[in-house]
Amino acid sequence: MLDALLLWLGAIAIGFVLLNQGAKFLTDNATRIAGRIGRSRFVVGALFVSTLSALPELLVSGIAAGEGSPDIALGNALASTVVTVAFVIGVSALVRPIKTSREIVLRDAVFLAIVTVVASTLLLDGNLTQYEGVALIALFVPYALNLAISQRTGAAEEIQERMVDLEIGLAFTGWIFGRKVVVRAGLKWLVFGILWSVMGAQFLVQGAIGLSNALGLNPWFIGITVVALGTSLPDIAAAWHATRLGYTDLVLGEGIGASVVTTLLTLGMIGILRPASHSVELLLPVVGAMVFTSFLLLALMLGGWRITSRSGAVLTSSYFAMVAFNILWIRGGFP
């Protein structure tokens, strides 16, 4: 029993290391490339960094669904959104208040709230079909296109300077300044990051399945706690470094963007790869938490166009409340 437990915990640990190192290679080089395009830090965060930093969630849920573990796949996808909105943005606001704007609220935060409602509606009938999976992925296209063509304020020189600062803060590797060399090095590390992430996802899924069996725990609980928090570590690390450097708009963009990616692309991929029925009763608390935290974030952003440290405490507390509530729910602690 002990040997098996140590084996699966070791697999999970290896998965975490590989996933986070792979995600680091991806986000490091994606941010550098995005900075050279000349978009604002919010667009860089929402479109490039958030999409690639959400790759762990995509890979883990995809592998889990493909191997017949829908509880881990769905649990990770849903809870990762809660982790990103409540924990990542919340902790960042505790460190440094996050400024927002009317444009970000009306276009991005409102879109996140809408997609969580749409995804929840599709899940609460007890089935996630291939058609619904395709529909969820299709919803991401207008969001991505809108961000890609958006021109934000700030000169290209200032944006480039900020990107260099952020790279230093994140200990970027493999870069030599100069457009041609940077692109070649960036592509190399992007491919390397994807390979590491795939291997890490495989270790993490196998470790999570083995751990749930060894301890007699519901795979759903492992998915919404250990797996969801583990796959969100790249988001947490990126947000922490960006906050320390004062780039709170990047934190907000990365948080909202990663949540949109996880909600639409990850759930959509699960529906396409493994369309199946699921327990609505089991999903209900996490689905409710996902919708609640997205609307809570929207409300806090509207309160003075600023996410204060007090608001950050509220967001962070909502994550721990979600975990505690689900423990009681799974154990039958409610009548």
Average pLDDT over the chain, rounded to whole?
76
pLDDT band at 23 (very low <50, low <70, confident <90, very high): low
Contacts of 1 (CB under 8 A, 6+ apart): 214
106: Cβ contacts below 8 Å, ≥ 6 apart: none
* Domain boundary assignment for the chain: 2-330
Are 74 and 223 in contact, with CB atoms under 8 Å apart?
A: yes
Residue 126: count of CB within 10 angstroms of its CB = 12
CA distance 254 to 239: 8
What is the separation of C-alpha 284 from the centre of its chain, rounded to a whole number of angstroms? 20
Amino acid at 139: L
Whole-model pTM: value is 0.78
Residue 133 has pLDDT above 50, yes or no: yes
Q: How far apart are CA 152 and CA 82, in angstroms?
A: 28
Which two tokens mark 250?
Answer: 């990047």
Q: Two tokens at 47?
A: 């479109």
CA angle, 216 then 76 then 200, to 5° = 90
CATH (one of 3.40.50.720, 1.10.1040.10, 1.10.260.40, 1.20.1420.30) for 2-330:
1.20.1420.30
Residue with the bigger pLDDT between 55 and 289: it is 289
Indicate whether 91 pLDDT > 80: yes
The upper half-sphere exposure of residue 335, i.e. CA atoms within 13 Å in the direction of its Cβ, equals 0
Q: Is the pLDDT higher at 42 or at 241?
A: 241
What is the residue-wise DSSP string for 46-78? IIIIHHHHTHHHHHHHHHHHHTT-HHHHHHHHH
156, pLDDT greater than 50: no
Residues 168-197 pLDDT 10s: 344 333 333 333 434 455 556 667 766 776
Distance (Å, rounded) from C-alpha 157 to C-alpha 38? 8
For 55, list phi and psi in degrees, rounded to 5: -60, -40
**Neighbouring-strand partners of residue 277:** 127
Q: Are 196 and 22 in contact (CB under 8 A)?
A: yes
pLDDT at 85 over 80: yes
The pLDDT of residue 26: 62
How many contiguous H segments (helices) and E segments (strands) does the chain have? Answer: 18, 4
Whether residue 61 is predicted with pLDDT greater than 70 in this model: the reply is: yes
Helix axes 55-66, 70-82, angle to 10 degrees: 160
What is the enclosing helix (H) or strand (E) of 276? strand 276-277
Closest-CA residue to 294 (of 254, 260, 251): 260
The pLDDT of residue 202 is: 73
Residue type, position 61, single letter: S
pLDDT tens track for 239-267: 777 787 777 777 787 788 888 888 999 99
Residue 171 confidence (pLDDT): 37
Q: Which residue in the block uniquely carries the two structure tokens 């963009």?
A: 253
Say whether 333 sits in a helix, a strand or coil: coil
